[in-house]
Amino acid sequence: MAIAETALRLPIPSLPRGYRVAGTHAGLKRNPTREDISLVVSDYSATAAGVYTTNVVCAAPVIFDRARTPGEGFRAIAINSGNANACTGTRGLADAEAMAAQAASLIDVPASSVLVLSTGIIGEFLPLAKIERGLAVVAGKLAADSDSVVTAARGMMTTDTRPKLSGSRFSSEGIDYTLFGMAKGAAMVGPRLATMLGIILTDAALDPSDAQRLLGETAEQTFNCVSVDGHTSTNDTVLLLANGAAGGKPLHGKSLEAFACALHDVCEALAREIADDGEGATHVLRIEVSGCPTRDQARQIARTIADSPLVKTAICGADPNWGRIVSAAGYSGVVFDPERMVLRLNGTLLFRSGAPVAFDGDAVSESIKASRETLIELEMGFGTESIRFYSSDLTAEYVHLNADYHT
Amino acid sequence: MAIAETALRLPIPSLPRGYRVAGTHAGLKRNPTREDISLVVSDYSATAAGVYTTNVVCAAPVIFDRARTPGEGFRAIAINSGNANACTGTRGLADAEAMAAQAASLIDVPASSVLVLSTGIIGEFLPLAKIERGLAVVAGKLAADSDSVVTAARGMMTTDTRPKLSGSRFSSEGIDYTLFGMAKGAAMVGPRLATMLGIILTDAALDPSDAQRLLGETAEQTFNCVSVDGHTSTNDTVLLLANGAAGGKPLHGKSLEAFACALHDVCEALAREIADDGEGATHVLRIEVSGCPTRDQARQIARTIADSPLVKTAICGADPNWGRIVSAAGYSGVVFDPERMVLRLNGTLLFRSGAPVAFDGDAVSESIKASRETLIELEMGFGTESIRFYSSDLTAEYVHLNADYHT
């Protein structure tokens, strides 16, 4: 935790050794000030792992990457926003392959060493000529400086208001390692698997099986604990590249554990950023559910609260409407005894022993207004497992954004 | 279908023989023009059946009624709005018993013959003195005329903009039977069990076990196929009273089948009314999912579409954004082949064979704007079961209503 929070306070985290990035506008988005093509290149052959959407209707780049990861010998990720290449059938899959081949040719690596990410409008074919022109531009200006990092992160944004970056460092057996993460996600963010696009880069060396296992476990505890609107995207993907540029053998034992901690910090920071930047959000909800027999049950309760429009509008209105929170837990599908449940909102006790508790409603309302983050703590009292879940409030601005975003 | 639609076009359906009703304002709601106490009385001993919320956190009146139904010998239902008597612990249960006893005393029937319904704010204790004064008023003006029916229906409303009434008649073996239904529900309407308050009255005679079975089956196909915000209430209840005032023995065989059809019509009409009156709604969504192996799978797909904020805002914006509909089906949890899926919106083909279809977007958008009802038809192509599901769109007005409705 401490590492990632420190990293977030830094203006821009550094890239690990052996990576260069760039972004540009290539005409996929209408606004010429918005980047829509990015390229991430590893100067060394990298291990790659990926976690993907569980949506049955999944996009061509998901099908493409999923067939290739985990594995070794990867050199680049080509990214576009403004077009999701989803629901585009066999032509969409051929377009994803063509996009990877374009990037490979421009940076002179094998086509099989390039992965692709797409996000944006569903159901339109990729404009391959525009993408090729954009890739040519970014291939010519790859760099590791802060401006390049920000521009590359902006190239994967859709309705995000800001790039989401995170970094972490750790040392093990005399070697310093760096992790870097960037992500996008402000809508179609639902609590299943990756739920957004994310790229994690490290200069550590990793075996593909370790990379895949750790990425999967970490995504389950971080990206899978975020919801803006409960709508699982067709394109959700998190990719991890590990190029070994820091030196040393593939991590194992204590080194691998240290890496796992750093990976968790980077992913949790990005996950929180996604909720915080939820479309139209005025609050980020941190929902801590504890005292359950299993972590899945805790997540199920937290997710139901996170997705309730009545809870989300109550926080928007700075209303400590605990009945909506308690009743959302009640319809989560988890069977529990309401008499044992204890609810606190921003630290104030609101409900215990199945009955209301006297509290200063105005003071709690003021505390919601005073902070960007609202803390909902629910102790269920029938186990020892817990979960932390992030969500955003539901505002009229969310409706305006989504009623007016036309296909 | 035909019967219920005809009934809906009537201004106000008639009560069956042997029932009288009334409603009044007793000070539970602040606005003195809004009724908040109602009483339904059967002049004959009636069979009663009930279906109730599946929420683990359920209200005192739910616990009270559930323990007493199905059964015989019922004479009245006492109803209040403005206070849900939910999350009120053992005192709440005692208050529900007291409310039933008050009503019983006022109309001179056994306390055990009265059921209770409450809806409104969660977590406050019932104001029993106000309720008793209100019950005394309504006990003195019970009647079967249209004004009394409307006033009684208004007494169970919360944020509903209008009373929801439905009626049906059928004949069997020379006897004419009447069904009457009234319901409330505009928020905390989620697709599990009753999901609102509803009262169905009939002058047919029914065995308690038949009454319970038919009410359960019908609720599963009607009230359980409605969602406004996916938030299952703590108080959801549908009660059926059958007082036999039409004459004849308890229905069986063909008569019971005719009753079941009429019951379905009455319940479906009320269910659609609830979606249509969803908070802030400008459209009612009729979602028809067909071609599934089981009806539960069809319902799961329909419910996921019905609850997606992205689908609901798209309809609010008159946007034929089929990607949101198709991707919602994809994360429903039902495994299917997207290549076989066919989507139509207001009759226009939008998606087939896993790829976009050329269509006139402006014309479809105009068709959404031109009608209160939007029809989403999804053929899944891997079975023969289907479902009809009702929902409402998500508007900025919904957010205003719920961010500003303070506890």
In tens digits, what is the pLDDT along chain A, a chain of 407 residues?
A: 233 333 333 479 999 999 999 999 999 999 999 999 999 999 999 999 988 887 888 889 999 999 999 999 999 999 999 999 988 889 999 999 999 999 999 999 999 999 999 998 888 899 999 999 999 999 999 999 999 999 999 999 988 888 989 999 999 989 999 999 998 886 565 533 334 788 999 999 999 999 999 999 998 888 888 877 666 677 778 899 999 999 989 999 999 999 999 999 898 888 888 888 888 889 999 999 999 999 999 999 999 999 888 899 999 999 998 988 998 898 888 999 989 999 999 999 999 988 888 999 999 999 999 999 999 999 999 999 999 999 999 998 888 888 876 55
* pLDDT higher than threshold 70 for residue B381: yes
Measure A21 CA to nearest chain B CA, in Å.
31
**Cβ–Cβ below 8 Å for B56 and A231:** no
Cβ within 8 Å of residue B200, ≥6 positions away: B179, B180, B181, B215, B238, B239, B240, B241, B263, B266, B267
Confidence at residue B190, expressed as pLDDT on a 0 to 100 scale: 53
Name A345's Cβ contacts closer than 8 Å, sequence gap at least 6.
Answer: A320, A322, A325, A364, A368, A374, A375, A376, A377
Nearest-CA residue of chain B relative to A350? B123
B327–A122 C-beta distance less than 8 A:
yes
Q: Do B313 and A395 touch (CB under 8 A)?
A: no
For A169, A173, B80, B97, the CA distances from A252, given in Å and listed in that order, are 17, 11, 65, 66
Partnered with residue B118 across adjacent β-strands are: B80
Residue A86 distance to chain B (closest CA, Å)? 8
Cβ <8 Å between A351 and B87: yes
Q: Cβ distance B402 to A321 under 8 Å? A: no
Q: Which of A87, A308, A331 sits opposite B351 (nearest CB)?
A: A87
Chosen for mutation from A62, A87, A95, A125 (greatest number of chain B CBs closer than 10 Å) is: A87
**Whole-angstrom distance, CA of residue B106 vs CA of residue B87:** 28
**Residues of chain A found within 8 Å of residue B320, distances taken between Cβ atoms:** 407
Predicted pLDDT of residue B193: 36
Q: Which of A188, A353, A399 is closest, CB to CB, to B399?
A: A399
Which residues in chain A have their CB less than 8 angstroms from residue B58's CB? 330
Task: Give the chain B residue whose CA is nearest to the CA of A84.
Answer: B323
Rounded-to-10 torsion of CA B66, B72, B73, B74 = 40
b/e B365-393 (16+ beta carbons within 10 angstroms → b): bebbeeeeebbbbbbbbeeebbbbbbbbb
pLDDT for A248? 86
For residue B56, list chain A residues with Cβ-Cβ distance below 8 A.
329-331, 334-336, 338
Q: Which of B310, B334, B392 to mutate to test the interface with A (most CBs of A within 10 A)?
A: B310
CB contacts, 8 Å: B336 with chain A: 56
Give A142-183 as a DSSP string: -B-SHHHHHHHHHTT-SS-SS-EEEEEEEEETTEEEEEEEEE
Judge whether residue B9 has pLDDT over 70. no
Query: Per-residue confidence at B7, pLDDT binned at 50, 70, 90?
Result: very low
CB B385 within 8 A of CB B297: yes
- Of the candidate CATH numbers 3.40.50.300, 3.10.20.340, 3.30.450.370, 3.30.70.270, the domain formed by B284-404 belongs to 3.10.20.340
Chain A CB contacts of B330 under 8 Å are: 55-58, 232, 234
Q: pTM here?
A: 0.78
Cβ-defined contact of A323 to B234 (cutoff 8 Å): yes
Instruction: Report the share of chain B in percent with pLDDT over 70.
Output: 93
Instruction: Select the residue from A56, A91, A233 to test the B interface by mutation, using most B Cβ atoms within 10 A.
Output: A56
pLDDT in tens, B115-163: 999 998 888 899 999 999 999 999 999 999 999 999 999 999 988 888 9
Q: Which residues of chain B does A354 touch, with a Cβ-Cβ cutoff of 8 Å? A: 87, 89
ipTM: 0.73
Annotated catalytic sites of A, by residue?
Answer: 195
CB contact under 8 A, B234 and A55: no
Interface contact flag, A403 B324, Cβ < 8 Å: no
Q: Chain B partners of A330 at a C-beta cutoff of 8 Å? A: 55-58, 232, 234
Q: How many angstroms separate the CA of residue A383 from the nearest CA in chain B?
A: 17
For A407, the closest of B323, B336, B396 (CB atoms) is B323
Q: What's the half-sphere exposure (Cβ side, CA atoms, 13 Å) at A209?
A: 1
Looking at residue A98, what is its pLDDT? 98
Domain A2-275 has CATH 3.30.365.10: no
Of A318, A320, A394, nearest in space to A351 by CA: A320
A303 vs B contacts (CB less than 8 Å)? none
Closest CA to A159 of A61, A31, A307, A22: A31
The C-alpha angle with vertex B149 and arms to B143 and B154, in degrees rounded to 5, equals 130
- Tell me if A354 and B190 make a contact (CB, 8 A cut-off): no
C-alpha–C-alpha distance, residues A246 and A205, integer Å: 8
pLDDT of residue A406: 59
Q: Quick one: pLDDT band at residue B51, thresholds 50, 70, 90?
A: confident
Angle made by CA atoms A397, A191, A341, in degrees to the nearest 5: 95
pLDDT of residue B187: 59
CB contact under 8 A, B231 and A123: no
- Nearest CA-CA partner of B373 in B391, B360, B359, B388: B391
Which chain B residues are within 8 Å of A328, Cβ to Cβ? 231
Is B398 in contact with A313 (Cβ distance < 8 A)?
Answer: yes
Residue A230 pLDDT: 67
- Across the interface, whether the CB atoms of B327 and A54 are under 8 A apart is answered no
pLDDT tier at B110, thresholds 50, 70, 90: very high
For residue A377 the two structure tokens come to 């703590």
| Domain parsing of chain A, residue ranges | 2-275, 284-404
What pLDDT shows up at residue A132?
97
Catalogue the active-site residues of B: 195
Interval B382-392: pLDDT, tens = 999 999 999 99
Cβ atoms of residues A323 and B121 within 8 Å: yes
Whether A312 and A391 have beta carbons less than 8 Å apart is answered as yes
The dihedral of CA A298, A302, A308, A310: what is its sign?
positive
Cβ–Cβ < 8 Å for B3, B168? yes
Residue among A55, A355, A402 minimizing CB distance to B331: A55
Q: Do B122 and A323 touch (CB under 8 A)?
A: yes
CA distance A169 to chain B (A): 36
The pair of three-digit structure tokens given for residue A166, joined into one six-digit string = 């995170």
Shortest CA distance from A87: residue in chain B: B355
Pick the residue with more confidence: B65 or B2? B65
> Coil, helix or strand for B134?
helix
> Which chain B residue's Cα is nearest to A190?
B331
Which spans in B146-290 are helix H?
146-154, 208-221, 253-276
How confident is the model over B370-375, as a mean pLDDT?
95
Domains B2-276 and B284-404 equal at CATH topology level: no
B37-52 and B71-83 strand pairing: antiparallel
* CATH fourth-level superfamily of B2-276: L-amino peptidase D-ALA esterase/amidase (3.60.70.12)
User: A87: number of CA atoms within 13 Å, CB side?
Assistant: 31
Comparing CB atoms, the residue among B55, B124, B396 nearest residue A396 is: B396
